[in-house]
Structure 1
Amino acid sequence: MSKQNTATPKLNLNHLYAAAICLTGIGLFALFNRAVFIHYTTSTWVWVYALAGAAVVLTIFTFQLPPQGNGLSLDSSVYLACIFVFGPSFSLTVLLVASAVIFLIERKTVWWKHLINFAVYSIINASASYTFAALGGVRGPLMDNHLAAYAGGMAIYFIMNTLLIVLYYYVLHNENLYETLKGMLKDTIIAYLSTLVLSLVLTILLYHNHIFGLALFLCLSILLSYSFKQMFTMYRDIEERANRDPRTGLFNHSYFEVVLEEEMRKSRSTGSSLSLAMIDIDDFKKYNDHFGHLKGDGLIVFLAELLKKECGGAEMVVSRYGGEEFTLLMPSYDTDQAKDFLDRLRKTLNNSPFDGTEIFPQGCLSFSAGIAGYRSDIHDKSELVEHADQALYYAKKQGKNMVHIYGHQSLLEQDIDFSQDVRDIEQQLNLFMYKDMETFKHSKRVFRYAMDISELLKLDSLTKRQFTLGALIHDIGKLEIPWGILNKKEKLTPEEWEMVKWHVTWGKQMAMTNDKFKDLAAYIELHHERYDGRGYPHGFKGEEIPKLCRMLTIIDSFDAMTTERPYQPTKSVEEAIVELRACAGSQFDPGLTEFFISYIESRHLRTKEAAV
């Protein structure tokens, strides 16, 4: 049976669940056992002690199953065999004696954990006994004509065991009910089936071979438990090798990606802080070129050892991201706490002697680091990595040997950087002036709409930068579309339309080649997704599409409707508003649509008043 890795309950709901399990288990024990053990003969007590001893031994030989390490023991086969051969009251007496022995052996475990385990076993045993009897099962030898009763009893034992454990983790640890159930079934079903089959084997051995049969079964079960334990050890060893970078001993890139996704899920569900830091050794190429790759590898290992030492006491996941880059995944750290830790680490490295540091511009070992904090509007792990990478890029640009938090430039620096980014994007958009002037004008208009909307939404400066620049560059992929298709007056053919749809993917690829504009890729790629999931390129729906990408879709469509285009008629502002409302809930986010319409109506009214 599965073993719970219990923790002290903290919430009233946890106490109530534990109390309900205990009361139910004790009540069923009393109902099915009725203290008949008082009248047992000496020979019966010998069987009780023998079977209880077997259950205790198998409990001690609990083993873990890959991949999650869920604990399992084969003692359930003893209790099931007792039900089939001797009946429910005898089985529960064996459970009582075995639980008392385990309580004496494991005295370091708090008493209420033992009580919960006893209650859970009592519920499962009572349920299996009732089902076995209800399906016509008769205690004694294994009978071919009662196979349905054996199967029913074993099935209920398995189902009740699984449900009680899953509910335990759901109530006490706030685990996802479906995911926990799926994980348990996936990881343990084969071992459970082995336990159930062993119970039938023990039933035959007990009835026909008595104590010798029990001894034979116990030897077989211990060997199986040992084999499972060795298999788990081997699995963990292989897993450890697969997850570690062979040179530094740190976790590798692949493992980092898996853990990052898991920690983001935890942070999203609990609201706890999560920071990601990316570290890059300053001027590593210069050191590598001067002293050779062997010495360069030594420098990488030196920093890795320092990271292990300094991060060992904290619950951080330290990984080698690639080359001379490392990542620190920092659960429960906000960005300010992460920066304090990284600054202390940076100063420790600065003061660490290492051969050849005289060639560095600063005369010592140093690294630059970028930190990004997880936010609820970050939907994909690559976005958080990109934020940390952008912050690292900024730290390098400011002179290296420093730690920078994503989005923490001064307001003046942000304005200067924003103006420069706009100029850089406009230089690329100027290519449209000879190929498709309308796309150039459209991009500028969408940018101005986005500037107004960002003020109304009261976006922070960093989000405002991403949204407005994303609006400006959103159609950059159309540079890859042939001139004849972009300027065609007639309706596009299906093949031509498919080519036009590729502009979002091409635009994303273009943005990803420039470190400054990687964080705009989502606006380029997703501005043709639809709220109902019928858009392209991915068919995302609802809140799978980031909020501001949903807003950009509305702005883009409104401007397309109200501006002359070669392959569609032009609408007035009023007609476009009617169209927006008609498509709210299908193509557009309904709430954002009404927000945008309010803005357009107010803007349109001011324009009319100004004209009058």
Structure 2
Amino acid sequence: MFIYLLGISLYFWKSDFFSQSVEDWALIYMLSASVLLLSYFTIHLPPKDNSFSMDSAIYLASIFLYGISLTINVLFVSIIIELMYKKRVAPWKHVFNFSMYCIMIIGAYYSFLLFGGKVGEINIYNLFPYMISLLVYFSLNIFLIFLFFFFSGQMFKGTFDAGILKEACISYSVTLLLSLVLTILLNEQGFFGLFLFTVLVVLLSFVFRKFLYLYRDVSERANKDHLTGLYNHGFFKEALNEHFSDAKKLQQPFCLALLDLDDFKKYNDRNGHLQGDKLLQFFGNLLRTGIEDKNYIAARYGGEEFALLMPNTTKEEAHVFLDRLRKQVNDTYFPGVEHVPYRCLSFSCGIAEMEKGMYDSGELIHKADQALYYAKAQGKNNVQIYNEQHNICLDEIKFKQDLDTLEQQIKFFLSKDVYTYRHSKRVFKYALEFSKQLDLTDHEKQTLILGALIHDIGKIEVPRDILNKEEKLTSHEWEIVKKHVTWGKEIVAAEKQFDDLIPLVELHHERYDGKGYPYGLKGQEIPKLARILSIIDSFDAMTTERPYQCTKTFEEAIAEIERCAGTQFDPLYAKMFIEFIQTNYLPRLQGQAPS
């Protein structure tokens, strides 16, 4: 209401509606016509079809040449005409736009005068007043929109992010440039200059729109799977990362579902690959039809496996939807499916919902894959939500196999850096013992233990002379060492079975206060197991002899952890680890640190 009253009051204050001359009204009508044309022919920019109108360039040029009264009358006439032909738009929205533009135009006008601008004169040697007026115009626009969202109760996180502001800055910079061009054309050629400017911008609108359509067509071809018509794996990964980031920022639910056609190999073997391709195409059409009224993205993940991105959807809602889709697929006949075990077309499906502690979309894929694995183990043709208790891949036998595999991996350090090998084994031992005292699931304990063993695997990529250097590292050498977490992530990611260990390998040098690396994550943003491993890793580093570092006793290391609880370390787990060391190690050591 404040914006409405202020804008309308400013208009009546500065309009001089009845004192305009006939020549002024002819100019007002011509400028209003150009405003309406440019509002209709917006300029579209790929890749996200961001569009902006050049009507603001006309208002600014009018300020520079004709002053405030004529300019806000141009605004008034254009809004009245819009009100007549845009009847579907609520009248209050027209009034709000009018009020907002009034405030922006008057603010820009007085800032132009305040910084030395003169109406009717073009000073190309002093562009400062023009730039200031645009800055005020732009700032008022952002501020008024912010107020609207805030007081209407529609404000949410992410309304004004860096990307939106950057795009707005670019469009307004173009607006300033074109407003100066129009000012010169109007000053030199009058109505003909206005005509040239309007035609130029309309042609630019057509060209950019054509370019956008061409870009979309090429992108569509590059992003689509040629067989099923669904999105391909590459587009799926990009869209997943984007939706994951948005859902995390806006704190909205987000689910990923992986679907696998049951017994597809058997169908292929019996009916041939050409018929198998037709089945994939047929299922792709069923999937596309099933989600056409939803804001979901369907993609061919690979082979006979498909993926669904489900924004603003909880795992329970996803389960209801996909189970209903599964039954519809069961009831849809396709030639040859009567010879597969279920005698109908069917799929197995795993669902994973984004959780608060997740920092990477790869975790979501891994959990959805685990749920899909469980769905297959349950006899196929069913839908399963990821559940820690159903994680049958990391049972005791699998844990032993993984442990043997990872121990072989770190033996590479024996020939390159014995310290890192022994450090990894000690951290592994601490994690094995400490995990028994933590309130963790069996899967979390196994992940912590395996992650402790492999956490420094990235140091294999660090040059030997840096790893074994006896003097203190230079800043350049230290930057190289810090990259071991990224290199470690890449090494571990190459083996899909170890995806759960990636957060521990990559994030064990993050700090609770946000001053760690590689991302500067803070507090609960750091996965729980990585926070625990950070304490164990630091404790062993402090109590182990290094050439360039004084070794601390266990008591001194405990004091250091206690001092850094809440800054470097999670205070809860720091306290628990201190109690663990005091209970299990100090009595045995009798005050002597291990060699």
Q: Normalising TM by the smaller chain, what interval?
A: 0.7 to 0.9
**1:522 and 2:503 are equivalent in the alignment:** yes
Q: Could you tell me which residue of structure 1 aligns to residue 593 of structure 2?
A: none
The structure-2 alpha-carbon separation of the partners of 1:492 and 1:547, relative to structure 1 and needing over 3 Å to count, comes to: farther
What aligned pairs does 1:116-515 form with structure 2 within 5 A after superposition? 116-140=96-120, 142=122, 149-150=129-130, 152-161=132-141, 164-165=144-145, 172-174=154-156, 175-185=158-168, 188-189=171-172, 191-205=174-188, 208-210=189-191, 212-407=192-387, 409=389, 418-428=395-405, 442=426, 445-455=429-439, 459-460=440-441, 462-471=443-452, 474=455, 512=493, 515=496
Query: In the TM superposition, what is the alpha-carbon distance from 1:500 to its structure 2 partner?
Result: 10
Q: Deviations over 1:58-98 (max 9, x none)?
A: 32333433333333222223323332333211111121111
* 8 Å contact kept, 1:65–1:187: no
* 8 Å contact kept, 2:337–2:344: yes
Q: Could you tell me which residue of structure 1 aligns to residue 64 of structure 2?
A: 84
What aligned pairs does 1:549-564 form with structure 2 within 5 A after superposition? 549-558=530-539
Q: Deviations over 1:468-524 (max 9, x none)?
A: 55346657889999xxxx9x9x97998999999999778766755655433123324
Q: Could you tell me which residue of structure 2 aligns to residue 99 of structure 1?
A: 79
The structure-2 alpha-carbon separation of the partners of 1:336 and 1:113, relative to structure 1 and needing over 3 Å to count, comes to: same
Query: In the TM superposition, what is the alpha-carbon distance from 1:573 to its structure 2 partner?
Result: 4.4
The structure-2 alpha-carbon separation of the partners of 1:248 and 1:115, relative to structure 1 and needing over 3 Å to count, comes to: same
* Mean CA deviation greater in 170-179 or 349-358: 170-179
* Mean CA deviation greater in 267-276 or 496-505: 496-505
CA RMSD of aligned residues (A): 4.4
Query: In the TM superposition, what is the alpha-carbon distance from 1:370 to its structure 2 partner?
Result: 1.4
Q: Deviations over 1:225-269 (max 9, x none)?
A: 333333333333333333333332222333323332332233323
Query: In the TM superposition, what is the alpha-carbon distance from 1:329 to its structure 2 partner?
Result: 1.1
Q: Could you tell me which residue of structure 1 aligns to residue 4 of structure 2?
A: 22
* 8 Å contact kept, 2:459–2:488: yes
Q: Which amino acid aligns with 1:30?
A: F
The structure-2 alpha-carbon separation of the partners of 1:105 and 1:580, relative to structure 1 and needing over 3 Å to count, comes to: same
**1:31 and 2:13 are equivalent in the alignment:** yes
The gaps in structure 2 that reach 5 residues or longer are: 590-595
Q: Which amino acid aligns with 2:246?
A: K
Q: Which amino acid aligns with 1:251?
A: Y
The structure-2 alpha-carbon separation of the partners of 1:602 and 1:334, relative to structure 1 and needing over 3 Å to count, comes to: farther
* 8 Å contact kept, 1:470–1:523: yes
* Mean CA deviation greater in 325-334 or 259-268: 259-268
State how far apart, in whole Å, the 2-side matches of 1:63 and 1:152 are: 24
The structure-2 alpha-carbon separation of the partners of 1:138 and 1:573, relative to structure 1 and needing over 3 Å to count, comes to: closer
The structure-2 alpha-carbon separation of the partners of 1:572 and 1:311, relative to structure 1 and needing over 3 Å to count, comes to: same
The structure-2 alpha-carbon separation of the partners of 1:137 and 1:295, relative to structure 1 and needing over 3 Å to count, comes to: same
State how far apart, in whole Å, the 2-side matches of 1:225 and 1:552 are: 56
State how far apart, in whole Å, the 1-side matches of 2:574 and 2:265 are: 51
State how far apart, in whole Å, the 2-side matches of 1:72 and 1:479 are: 51
Q: Which amino acid aligns with 1:315?
A: N
The structure-2 alpha-carbon separation of the partners of 1:289 and 1:501, relative to structure 1 and needing over 3 Å to count, comes to: farther
Q: Could you tell me which residue of structure 2 aligns to residue 61 of structure 1?
A: 41
State how far apart, in whole Å, the 1-side matches of 2:110 and 2:484 are: 66
Query: In the TM superposition, what is the alpha-carbon distance from 1:533 to its structure 2 partner?
Result: 8.1
SS at match of 1:107: coil
* 8 Å contact kept, 2:254–2:314: yes
Q: Could you tell me which residue of structure 2 aligns to residue 15 of structure 1?
A: none
State how far apart, in whole Å, the 2-side matches of 1:100 and 1:21 are: 19
Tell me the number of residue pairs that the alignment of Structure 1 and Structure 2 aligns. Answer: 576
The gaps in structure 1 that reach 5 residues or longer are: 1-18
State how far apart, in whole Å, the 2-side matches of 1:138 and 1:56 are: 27
Query: In the TM superposition, what is the alpha-carbon distance from 1:380 to its structure 2 partner?
Result: 0.8
Q: Deviations over 1:342-377 (max 9, x none)?
A: 222222222322223244333332222211110110
State how far apart, in whole Å, the 1-side matches of 2:314 and 2:148 are: 31
Query: In the TM superposition, what is the alpha-carbon distance from 1:306 to its structure 2 partner?
Result: 0.7
State how far apart, in whole Å, the 2-side matches of 1:70 and 1:106 are: 22
Query: In the TM superposition, what is the alpha-carbon distance from 1:548 to its structure 2 partner?
Result: 1.6
Q: Which amino acid aligns with 2:5?
A: L
SS at match of 1:592: helix
State how far apart, in whole Å, the 1-side matches of 2:76 and 2:480 are: 73
State how far apart, in whole Å, the 1-side matches of 2:359 and 2:81 are: 51
Query: In the TM superposition, what is the alpha-carbon distance from 1:103 to its structure 2 partner?
Result: 0.8
State how far apart, in whole Å, the 2-side matches of 1:523 and 1:114 are: 54
Q: Which amino acid aligns with 2:371?
A: A
TM-score under structure 1 length normalisation: 0.79
Query: In the TM superposition, what is the alpha-carbon distance from 1:392 to its structure 2 partner?
Result: 1.8
**1:596 and 2:577 are equivalent in the alignment:** yes
Query: In the TM superposition, what is the alpha-carbon distance from 1:308 to its structure 2 partner?
Result: 0.6
State how far apart, in whole Å, the 2-side matches of 1:240 and 1:282 are: 29
SS at match of 1:329: strand
TM-score under structure 2 length normalisation: 0.81
State how far apart, in whole Å, the 2-side matches of 1:267 and 1:350 are: 32
Q: Which amino acid aligns with 1:245?
A: D
Give the percent of matched residue pairs that are identical in Structure 1 and Structure 2: 40
Q: Deviations over 1:381-414 (max 9, x none)?
A: 111111112222232333332222222546xx86
Query: In the TM superposition, what is the alpha-carbon distance from 1:123 to its structure 2 partner?
Result: 1.5
SS at match of 2:438: helix
The structure-2 alpha-carbon separation of the partners of 1:307 and 1:574, relative to structure 1 and needing over 3 Å to count, comes to: same
State how far apart, in whole Å, the 2-side matches of 1:571 and 1:545 are: 27
The structure-2 alpha-carbon separation of the partners of 1:318 and 1:199, relative to structure 1 and needing over 3 Å to count, comes to: same
* 8 Å contact kept, 2:11–2:102: yes
SS at match of 1:275: strand
